[in-house]
Structure 1
């Protein structure tokens, strides 16, 4: 493994408040990570999913180690990534703990399926991805999960749920592409990169 960990001494400590403010500038797609099997299941809302590679298909997600799903991820070694549509805000809020529901209770009010690993996958999500934990890298309060994609199901829906400045935002591929084209800088006027 070729990993480099550097410890850099910095005179000024960045406050949690300032860091959160900076991260609110970053728009993130909203997903629900699910873990466990049978009735021993839980999940959490995240904006930290990213693709890692296509050969083999793999992704990464950052998970708070204080989350109720963390022990299930460690115990079972599988997880689901459910990329939410713009009309699944209720699912996002439920899995973010807004109404105080925990574990199995968070799955009520939506239709769930399973694939190869047995973790719950949200029917009607833009994409529901079944993953096996390939590696866990623990740092600070979180862990980075590297997940190998075992199976997936795709939706034909076109509106995604994003999170920006502490609010949910709908992004519609068809409607917003037209709006962006109207205000975009023409290709010939874009700065050149080298």
Structure 2
């Protein structure tokens, strides 16, 4: 956290820092395809991103943190066995545990959906300058998370949406000491192009094994 603050003070945007920290884990080599560590690294960057929005999306942050810890715990038990997301899913299919509340399958699914939400939010932030941050977040939520939330989760997010900060505040926090919004926009587009292939791969894996339709309460 200290290093991240120092780098933003030197002129790095938060988005550029995320790209630097994700670059090695998301390198598209065969041995890193569907990598467990890549998803964990990406999810931890998402937590930094949500911190910039503030405590209003605490419910999402807590959900991501719990799912990260669940996958990390499995990986720590046997890194070679749990190094690949597909392998984790197949292990739990064999055990008949995929639909249990604390399964890694569900953790992977919700980490992926949370990343889909973040990608959708950033895309709208760049393309829809006329929208407030609340509108950007709400549209991203509707297109990614809401279809899979039950009434309890949906109600929690409805409350959170009312407390979203102003767009200018959020953008300033993401820019750090960078010179202009155009620079931040370029960084966001670069980050999205880096994330999309990996995200497409995970979404395809979940769909292939029919886990993509699971809902929460």
* TM-score relative to the length of structure 2: 0.26
Which structure would you say has the larger Rg? 1
> Which of the pair is proportionally richer in helix?
2
> Which of the pair is proportionally richer in strand?
1
* TM-score relative to the length of structure 1: 0.28
Query: Of the two structures, which has the highest relative contact order with CA contacts closer than 8 Å and spacing of 6 or more?
Result: 2
